[in-house]
Amino acid sequence: MSPGCLPPLAATLRHDGFTGSLTLIGDEPYEPYDRPPLSKQVLDGWVPAQRTALPVPGDLDARWRLGVAATGLDLARKQVLLADGEEVAFDRLLIATGVRPRPWPDPAQAALDGVFVLDTRDDAARLQQRLAAGPRRVLVIGGGFIGSETASACRDLGLAVTVAERGPAPLAGALGRVIGAIAADMQRDHGVDLRCGVFVTALVGDSSGRLCSAELSDGSTLDADLAIVALGSQRNVEWLDGSGLAAGPWGVGCDSGSRAFTLDGMVTDDIFAAGDVARFPHPLYNYEFLALQHWGNAVAQAEIAAHNMISAQTDRWPHLAIPSFWSTQFDTEIKSVGVPSFADEVVITQGSAADRRFVAAYGHRGRVTAAVAFNQAKWLEFYQSLIERSAPFPPDFRGVDEPADRRPVPAGMPDRPIPGDQATVEVTGHNPGERRAALVRRRHRPGGRLPEQRRDGHGTAQSL
Amino acid sequence: MAMAQPSLFDQVVDFASRADPYPLYAELRRTPVSRADDGSYVVSTYQEIVALLHDPRVSSDRRHRADYAEDEDEFVPGLPPSFIGLDPPDHDRVRRLLTRHFGPPHDPGRITSMTADMADIVADLIGHLAGRTSCDLVEDVTYPFPVTVICRLLGVPREDEPRFRVWADAIVSSIDPTTGDLAARKRRRLHAAADLASYFGELIDAGRDRPGNGMLAELVADDGPEGRLSRAELMSNSSLLLIAGHETTVNLISNGMLTLLRHPQVLQRLRRQPALSARLVEELLRYEPPVQFLPNRTALDDIEIAGTIIPRGGQITLVLAAGSRDPEHVPDPGCFDPDRPDNEHLGFGGGIHYCFGAPLARIEAQIALPELVRRLENLRLAADPPPYRPNPLLRGPAHLPVRFDRIAPAPATRSRDQRITEAAAPAGVRTPRYRTVPAIMLS
């Protein structure tokens, strides 16, 4: 689910004059709620998990089908199948099923008492209780945004915490190795036992099924009674199997107006996708298909989708917003505009990395594609305008708080995964009217290791 | 050659325009970046102002001006500029140290813990009007209220008001270009600023021997991880907090009462529905902002904006009041409408210099306005327009003569504390809406 999508979607539909019937389907029993606090204020106890409800306009006149999952889509009959057997007919459908955390790959180890993933507000409430009870040591598996924010909340609570990150630095998947190194210093300064370049090979329970330790790839063993699995996300697309839509591990492909593609690569006119699950082409990024798993994208794209769902062909809008996200961790506000992973170089343009107050601009082949601020967010509108204008990189201006050294360095981005790699397609038929593509499902290797591509978590973008 | 007509901005500055500068702002907006007669660049449209507020090529430090000379008497000898005139990283450091004793995360309860006191101060000031049927709202309520509040907040003796009022008036009037040539104004400002700063020097030294209450005492003894402000820094910045902490709020509340009296249906609504005050104050900040423009910004590089190049060293004035009424930004901008959805205004500026005292000013206005309209029965203006203060930047009535039938009694219970807390801007977790609006809404 990406519940963040639903209020802006529904509100925009009604605001734009849609008077027909509106059905909102979600597998969680709650009305839409705000997820970002779940890894921040909820964990350290500042905000109760149930106080995260999103404002929903009172006059939506919508039918809510909460607590029941969609299990199938019949494009020909224009019906959504629900888990309770009901079929919901539609003229237009928006797919906003979002993502869920990638689970710990070994189900028996994942079931140990003390092993958590952070997805729903129920997860956050349970985790908050366990953190408040004072575990001896928390192991955070994965140093992306969710892992880092969770580790920060643990330190705020005074808990001993180890972060195990497979890559060279925390946040390196989203922000690159150079800025990741600054995040690493930040974590260590805040007392995190940060271990990079290692991964957890096994979670070990005691005789009563409680987590007691973890084995790491460097051969060491770590005592921990609570583990938080923060290995990125996977998309909620299984319910679309066999629907004929271009839906797979990469998400749901759609055009920049949110219209979903079929597996044949044709655009549909009545099926739309938005939010974490959608993957769409962005002209500023070489028309590559982006999957943006950020709060702001869910809102902006849902508004575009809503508009297009009730507009004539010539009146449709493209989703051309500049991506943006933020994270709060270790007393630092990290904010980003653009797509940092779409970069080969980075340069600090304002402030000081040593003080952890700076702006870094990212460049791809000589133009500005992103900027990231640590505790300097108020300058980012300027950088957004540079991105919008495809301004030259490195940016050349005289401004306040200039660092002595303004030479760009390689950003140290990991190789960008190619999600399409995960799709195997067969084309059948001979006559043009009969040609069709079909997805061949690859099975995961039995007992397989973690999928290699897990850099698509909160706050990062992938391109197809 | 005939005398050229003064520029539009110089006409705004002219006292004759004080009661209603808005038609001139509408003309100004036709040229988003225009020139004042002194050569400075005047920016009057919303998008362009927002862009420059967030542009690292724009400095707030006067020492970067093309016409700045080292030997100029710009600053009081031995005193650093206050943080309003600094750029990062110095600005950020001073602001962080001050914020530690003013708001979250270090001191989240500072303002809310004062709301009951604030309500009492307003109630007492209004109570003193009992038996009368006319008054000057500025002299009787809207001036003494914020002064008393800022004194308590900082820990400045209220009885010193007659002393610092003279310096504050001199400093504020020196910003006003109508009060003499630049050199004369600078001399007056420096003189008053030096007196005010040394007054704070005395308070700081006295506080070291005998710690008192309030921000000043805490700042003197600050033991935070980044150390504390130096004595000189504290002198400049407490001078700023004292002046900026009440001058603008006086005008916000005075402008607010004037606007309400000109919109009786809104005034009646506020009487019935005090919780309207939160939205009402936001609309006031857009419609009649107490800070009309920000002068003294300097381009550190050539800046191209709206088809104009502001050259390096050029002086920039951001006309916030014109931007908040830009029809390209807000529909029907000349209409005073407290129900306006998504009211994004420039009333508190934006970017890193976003008004430090915004949470305090908001609460003060949210407390004073409903109480005034509730207790002054059958309130009406005795003069419209009222006489204005000369200053075009910190714009507001010098006096606000009103008539009323009687003063309603003060509420018997203290339940108003609760009402005020509810009426205030949402606290705690920011609602998601604010995350997508420009950073201007986020302090």
C-alpha–C-alpha distance, residues A285 and A295, integer Å: 20
Q: For residue B55, what are the β-bridge partners? A: none
What lies within 8 Å, CB to CB, of B424 at 6+ separation is B112, B115, B278, B362, B363, B366
- CATH value at residue A85: 3.50.50.60
pTM of the model: 0.89
pLDDT at B62: 86
> How close does chain B come to A399, measured CA to CA in Å?
4
In a domain, A456, yes or no: no
pLDDT at B422: 40
Instruction: Work out the average pLDDT over B331-345.
Output: 96
Task: Look at residue A446 and tell me whether its pLDDT is greater than 70.
Answer: no
**Same domain for A214 and A130?**
yes
Contact yes or no for B145/B125 (Cβ under 8 A): yes
**Same domain for A209 and A139?**
yes
In a domain, A200, yes or no: yes
Put simply, the answer to whether A352 touches B89 (Cβ < 8 Å) is: yes
At A321, list the tokens. 């917003």
Q: Taking CB atoms and an 8 Å cutoff, what residues of chain A touch B57?
A: 397-400
B18-441 is classed in which CATH architecture? Answer: Orthogonal Bundle (1.10)
Best mutation site among B52, B86, B92 for testing chain A: the one with the most A CBs within 10 Å? B92
**Same domain for A243 and A95?**
yes
pLDDT digits (tens, 9 = 90+) for B212-242: 789 999 999 998 899 999 999 999 999 999 9
The alpha carbon dihedral of B90, B91, B94, B100 has a sign of negative
C-alpha–C-alpha distance, residues B140 and A156, integer Å: 48
Among A49, A54, A50, A47, residue whose Cα is nearest residue A24: A54
In a domain, A455, yes or no: no
- Which residues of B fall below an 8 Å CB-CB distance to A? 50-51, 54-59, 87-89, 92, 300-301, 312, 350-352, 354, 428-429, 431-433, 435-436, 438-439
At B101, list the tokens. 């004793």
pLDDT at B212: 76
C-alpha–C-alpha distance, residues B239 and B401, integer Å: 30
Q: Taking CB atoms and an 8 Å cutoff, what residues of chain B touch A400?
A: 56-59, 87-88, 300
pLDDT band at B3 (very low <50, low <70, confident <90, very high): low
Instruction: Work out the average pLDDT over B301-312.
Output: 97
Higher pLDDT, B182 or B269: B269
Q: Strand locations in B311-419, DSSP E? A: 315-318, 380-381, 401-403
Instruction: Work out the average pLDDT over A128-152.
Output: 97
Q: How much of chain B, in percent, has pLDDT values that exceed 90?
A: 77
What lies within 8 Å, CB to CB, of B305 at 6+ separation is B32, B33, B43, B48, B51, B52
Task: Look at residue B64 and tell me whether its pLDDT is greater than 90.
Answer: no
At B51, list the tokens. 């862009």
> How close does chain A come to B431, measured CA to CA in Å?
8
pLDDT digits (tens, 9 = 90+) for A158-194: 999 999 999 999 999 999 999 999 999 999 999 999 9
**Same domain for A112 and A89?**
no
Instruction: Work out the average pLDDT over A314-323.
Output: 94
Q: For residue A164, what are the β-bridge partners? A: A141, A195
Q: Are strands A161-165 and A226-229 parallel, antiparallel or unpaired?
A: unpaired
For chain A, the domain total comes to: 3
Round the average pLDDT of chain B to a whole number and report it.
89
pLDDT at A4: 64
Instruction: Work out the average pLDDT over A393-411.
Output: 95
**Same domain for A90 and A136?**
no
Q: Please name the member of A296, A350, A401 whose beta carbon is closest to the beta carbon of B435.
A: A296
For the CA atoms of chain A, what is the radius of gyration? 22
Best mutation site among A378, A379, A384, A389 for testing chain B: the one with the most B CBs within 10 Å? A378
**Same domain for A117 and A169?**
yes
**Same domain for A82 and A192?**
no
**Complex ipTM value:** 0.87
How many C-beta atoms surround the C-beta of residue A310 within 10 A?
16
Best mutation site among A333, A381, A383 for testing chain B: the one with the most B CBs within 10 Å? A381
pLDDT at A443: 54
Query: For A396, which residue in chain B has the nearest alpha carbon?
Result: B301
> How close does chain A come to B131, measured CA to CA in Å?
47
pLDDT at B417: 46
- Which residues of A fall below an 8 Å CB-CB distance to B? 4, 34, 37, 41, 47, 51-52, 54-55, 295-296, 299-300, 326, 349-352, 355, 357, 359, 376-382, 385, 397-401
Q: Taking CB atoms and an 8 Å cutoff, what residues of chain A touch B438?
A: 381
Query: Which region holds residue A287: left if phi is over 0, alpha if psi is between -120 and 50, else beta?
Result: left
Task: Look at residue B431 and tell me whether its pLDDT is greater than 80.
Answer: no
Amino acid at B169: D
pLDDT band at A3 (very low <50, low <70, confident <90, very high): low
Q: Directed axis angle between helix B144-154 and helix B358-375, to 10°?
A: 140
Q: Taking CB atoms and an 8 Å cutoff, what residues of chain B touch A351?
A: 88-89
Q: How much of chain A, in percent, has pLDDT values that exceed 90?
A: 73
pLDDT at A51: 84
pLDDT at A99: 93
Task: Look at residue B179 and tell me whether its pLDDT is greater than 80.
Answer: no
What lies within 8 Å, CB to CB, of B325 at 6+ separation is B22, B25, B26, B286, B287, B333, B334
C-alpha–C-alpha distance, residues A120 and A116, integer Å: 11
A215: enclosing H helix or E strand: strand A211-216
Instruction: Please report where in the chains the tokens 């497979």 appear, as a residue.
Output: A166
Instruction: Work out the average pLDDT over A42-57.
Output: 83
Task: Look at residue A448 and tell me whether its pLDDT is greater than 60.
Answer: no
- DSSP label at B107? -
Put simply, the answer to whether A401 touches B56 (Cβ < 8 Å) is: yes
C-alpha–C-alpha distance, residues B215 and B357, integer Å: 13
For the ranges A101-105, A230-234, A295-299, B113-117, the lowest mean pLDDT is seen at A295-299
In a domain, A428, yes or no: no
**Same domain for A223 and A138?**
yes
Instruction: Work out the average pLDDT over A375-384.
Output: 97
Among B343, B114, B86, residue whose Cα is nearest residue B237: B86
For the ranges A138-147, A209-218, B205-214, B393-402, the lowest mean pLDDT is seen at B205-214
In a domain, A438, yes or no: no
pLDDT digits (tens, 9 = 90+) for A416-433: 766 666 677 889 888 988
Q: Please name the member of B300, B435, B436 whose beta carbon is closest to the beta carbon of A399.
A: B300
> How close does chain B come to A33, measured CA to CA in Å?
10
Q: Please name the member of A355, A378, A398 whose beta carbon is closest to the beta carbon of B54.
A: A378
| CA angle at A195 for the pair A194 and A196, rounded to the nearest 5° | 115
A446: enclosing H helix or E strand: none
Q: Are strands A115-117 and A221-223 parallel, antiparallel or unpaired?
A: unpaired
Task: Look at residue B418 and tell me whether its pLDDT is greater than 50.
Answer: no
Domain hosting residue A367, numbered range: 344-410
| Domain endpoint, select from A391, A410, A429 | A410
Query: For B305, which residue in chain A has the nearest alpha carbon?
Result: A385
In a domain, A333, yes or no: no
For the CA atoms of chain B, what is the radius of gyration? 21
**Same domain for A178 and A200?**
yes
Q: For residue B308, what are the β-bridge partners? A: B305
Q: Taking CB atoms and an 8 Å cutoff, what residues of chain A touch B51?
A: 381-382, 385
Q: Directed axis angle between helix B144-154 and helix B115-127, to 10°?
A: 150
A325: enclosing H helix or E strand: strand A324-329
**Same domain for A93 and A240?**
yes
pLDDT at B310: 98
The alpha carbon dihedral of A126, A131, A134, A137 has a sign of positive
| Three-class HEC string of B72-103 | CCCCCCCCCCCHHHCCCCHHHHHHHHHHCCCC
Instruction: Work out the average pLDDT over B153-157.
Output: 95
Higher pLDDT, A294 or B411: A294
Put simply, the answer to whether B89 touches A379 (Cβ < 8 Å) is: no
**Same domain for A191 and A130?**
yes
In a domain, A323, yes or no: no
Task: Look at residue A250 and tell me whether its pLDDT is greater than 50.
Answer: yes
pLDDT band at B75 (very low <50, low <70, confident <90, very high): confident
Instruction: Work out the average pLDDT over B401-405.
Output: 98
Task: Look at residue B411 and tell me whether its pLDDT is greater than 80.
Answer: no
- DSSP label at A402? -
Where are chain B's structural domains? 18-441
| Domain endpoint, select from A218, A233, A248 | A233
Q: Which residues of B109-139 are buried (b: 16+ CB within 10 A; e: fewer)?
A: ebbeebbbebbebbbebbeebeeeeebbbbe
Instruction: Work out the average pLDDT over A315-319.
Output: 95
At B286, list the tokens. 């857009």
Q: Taking CB atoms and an 8 Å cutoff, what residues of chain B touch A399?
A: 55-57, 300-301
At B75, list the tokens. 């600053």
Q: In what order do the strands lie in the sheet with A200-205?
A: A200-205, A211-216, A221-223
Instruction: Work out the average pLDDT over A48-68.
Output: 84
pLDDT digits (tens, 9 = 90+) for B275-290: 999 999 999 999 999 9
A71: enclosing H helix or E strand: strand A70-74
C-alpha–C-alpha distance, residues B46 and B48, integer Å: 6
> How close does chain B come to A350, measured CA to CA in Å?
8
**Same domain for A192 and A217?**
yes
Among A234, A248, A323, A336, residue whose Cα is nearest residue A282: A323
